[in-house]
Structure 1
C-alpha cells in the first residue's frame, strides 16, 4: 500500500452518519484537528470562536477541550463528542485523550467507532529530516501511536487512517512524509493492521484537512484526497445481521400503557445485539432455558415491525415467562452457553492483573463473577511479539483464560462485536478494569 492508495474495504455507504475518533500520542494535534474540521465545515458559531481566542489567535483545541482541567493543562482527559455535517454526510467525532493514563477513555470511544484517525506528529520523529554520521536517524513510532493503533485493530474499528500532522513545520515535508509513511506501512504490515490511507495534513494551517491543498502544488508529494473527502467515503460498521438472533433485556414494562400493543403482557425492551426478530420466532431465555414464541415486536415508537441488529425494540412473548433485566432472549439451539473463555484483554486498571483475582464481568446487562484462571501472555507493543508473563500492567494487551461463575452465550469477537465483548469491573472499587474480546469458548456450561 502506498500513501495515496485507499483500501479496497472503502465502499461508501454515506447514507448513515460516520462515527470516528481521533487518537494517537499526546500533543499530536487531535483536538486541533477536530476544531479545524468544525470551523471549516462552518459548524462553529461566531460567538464560540470568540470564546476560544488566546492572545489574538484562535485556539482550535479549546472547541473540544471543555473541562477546566483540560484547559489549564492543555491536554485532553475525557472523550469529547462533537457533531458536524457536510453536503455529503453527517459525522459524530470522538476526541480521545492521548495520555497513557487515560487509555481507558480511548478504548471506550473506539469500541463504538466506525473509523479511527490516528495522528502522527512529524516534529517528534527524528527521522523526519535529521541526519547523523551521514545516515538518516531512525527511531520507532511513539508508544501511544502503536498502542492506539493496536487497540483500534483489536476492537475491530473498520477503517484506520493515519494522518501525519504538523508537516508545515518541517523543512522538507515531502521527505518527512515519505519516511514516516514507510515506517507506518511497515508497522501496520507487521501488526496485521489494514490501513485505509495515510494522509499528510496540517491541522493548524488547515492544509489538506477539509479541502485539498491547492495553494502548495504537490505538497508533501501527495496527490490523494483530503482527510474530509476520505472520511466522506468511509463505510460504517455493518451490524451482526448474519449472526443468530440475540437480545439482551434492558428494561421490562410490567404494565403497558396500551393493551392493544402488548396484548396485556409484559414488554421486554432493549437493543437487538445480532440477527433480527419478527413475530412467530421461537426464543430461549438465558438462563432459565425456557422457550416461547414472539407474539409482537414493537419498534422505538411502538409500531409493530421486524427489527434488525443495532436497533431498539420491545418484544412481547406469547406466554408469561420469568424474565429479568440482564437475561438474554436467544435463537433456540444457536448458542451453547459456556463457563470458561479464552480472551484478549486490554488491561486498564492501575493495579496489575494477576491470576486468581475475581472481577465482575458485564455482557449486555448481565453481571456475573469472573475469575482470572490463567494469564497466557502479553503483547510487546515495540516488537509486536507475544511474551510469557505472570501479570498485566496498566495499558497492557494480553491473552487470558476467564472462569465464569454463571454461563454466558458468547461468540468470538471476530464473528460478533456484541456477543464477543465483555467488560471487567473491580468488585471493590467498581472501576472499569479491562475490555475483554473473546477468542474462543473453552468449556461447555
Structure 2
C-alpha cells in the first residue's frame, strides 16, 4: 500500500444516495488520500462530473474509451490501495457478482487486487430479494466486504433497511481496511455476534440500576470485525454512539432483554463476544410510578440475581457441539488476574478479556489495555492503546481458534 498517500478508487452507483458520497469523498481527500472517482453513467444523473472533479482534485474517470492510451480499465484497479463502492445498487452488486464488465467501474472491480468495500443502498424489498442476497453472499465468499445497509428513511415515504450508512461511519470502515495494510479479510464468511454497553434494571419509570459502560469497546469490536469481512450482529444496550456501518444493530435495555437477543442471535454464529457489562442484580419488582419522597425512610429495594448470559452461551455452544468461539469480558478493580482466571474457569468460554477499570480506566475512554486469558492456559498482554487496536488483537486470537 502507498502509505504516504493511499490511493482510493471511489466507485459511485446510480442511486439517490450518491449525494451522501460527496461527503465521504471529502473525508478521504481531507485526510490526505488520493481519490479517483469512477461513477457509472447513470450515477452522473444524480451528481455531475464537475462536482466529483472539484471535490477530488482529480479528473473523473467515466468510460473505458476516455484516454484509452492509458488503458484505464486495467490501470485504475491495479494502482488502487482500496476500492470503495457507494452507493452499491442492486444492479451494480449483480454485475460485480457475475463478473460482468460493461463499464469502467465493473472493469475496475475485476482488475483490482486490493481490498474492495461495497456499501449497498436500495429499497428494502430489493435488499431482501433472494437474488440480491445470493449476489451479496457470492461477493463476500470472494473476500469483498459488503456492508449491511442501515435502517431509516428511504426515498419517498418508505422506511426500512436499505439506507446508505452515514459518511463518517463509511469513512471509518475505509480507514480500518487501509490500516490493515491490504491484508486478507480473514473473517470473510464468518457470522459474528457482539454485545456492547451496559444493562439498566428499572427501579421505577425514571430510575434504574446500571453501570458506567459506554459501549465503546464493544462497538470497536463490531466495527473491526466488519472491516475484516465478517457479517456482524451488534446487540447494543443503552449506547449513545453512531451505529457502526455494516453492522446489524439490535437495541436492548435490561439484562433479560440482552439475554433473549444474544441467545437468538448466537444460534447460527461462528463467534460470540460478550463485551456488554451486565448488571448482576435487578429489583425484584419495579414501581409503576415514580417513587416520591415521603419524609419516612425509603422502602428497601429487594434484589434478584440476573441470569449469567455468558455461562448460558457457552452451555448452548457445548450442547450444540459446534466449533463456535465464545469470548467474554471481565472488568475488575483489584486482584485482576486472580479474579480473571477464576472467572474463566466458571464461565467456560474460550477467551476472557480481563481489564482493570476505575479511576479513568476503560469505561468511557478511547483507550484500553487488557490481558486475554485462554482456556488453553495462554495469557496475551495487550498494551494500552486505542480500543480499535485491542479489538483487532482479540480478533487475531479468535481467528487462530477458528483456524484450529
More relative contact order in 1 or in 2 (CA 8 Å, sep 6+)?
1
Higher fraction of strand: 1
Structure 2 length as normaliser, TM-score? Answer: 0.29
Higher fraction of helix: 2
